[in-house]
């Protein structure tokens, strides 16, 4: 027996709040599955405790992109300050080392996948 069209229609709503960290984790998982956050939340709610398998590739990994964005913002601020004050921050060498580590790690992981 097929469910009626009335039963298939999504007419009920559930609302809940998340912390920024919980939402970020859910959004990260949703991006890895190419889903909207609401669609992932619906699947998680309806599928119970079944674990989700999320396969990411480092070069497209949202966490890596976030990390690079953060480093880029830091570098941008240091560059602005260098132009304004005419001196280079002592934080620049540490930031350059951090950038090199991120690049090295991404290249190692990419090389390991091929």
Domain map of the chain by residue range? 16-55, 58-113
**pLDDT at position 15:** 83
Cα–Cα distance for residue pair 87/15, rounded to 1 Å: 51
Q: What is the length of the chain?
A: 114
pLDDT digits over 51-109, tens only?
656 665 555 677 777 888 888 888 888 888 888 988 888 888 888 888 888 878 777 76
pLDDT digits over 5-63, tens only?
666 787 888 887 888 888 888 888 888 888 898 888 888 888 866 665 666 555 567 77
**pLDDT at position 104:** 80
Query: Which alpha helices (DSSP H) does 1-114 contain, by range?
Result: 5-8, 20-32, 37-47, 62-85, 92-113
Q: Work out whether the CA dihedral 58, 63, 65, 67 comes out positive or negative.
A: negative
What is the pTM assigned to this prediction?
0.39
């Amino acid at each position: 027996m097929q469910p009626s069209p009335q039963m298939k229609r999504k007419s009920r709503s559930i609302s809940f709040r998340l912390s920024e960290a919980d939402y970020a984790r859910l959004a990260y998982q949703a991006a890895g599955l190419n889903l909207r956050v609401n669609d992932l939340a619906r699947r998680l709610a309806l599928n119970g405790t079944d674990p989700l398998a999320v396969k990411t590739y480092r070069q497209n990994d949202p966490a890596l992109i976030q990390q690079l964005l953060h480093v880029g913002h830091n570098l941008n601020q240091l560059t602005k300050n260098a132009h304004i004050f005419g001196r280079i921050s002592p934080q620049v060498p540490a930031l350059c080392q951090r950038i090199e580590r991120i690049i090295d790690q991404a290249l190692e992981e990419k090389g390991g996948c091929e």
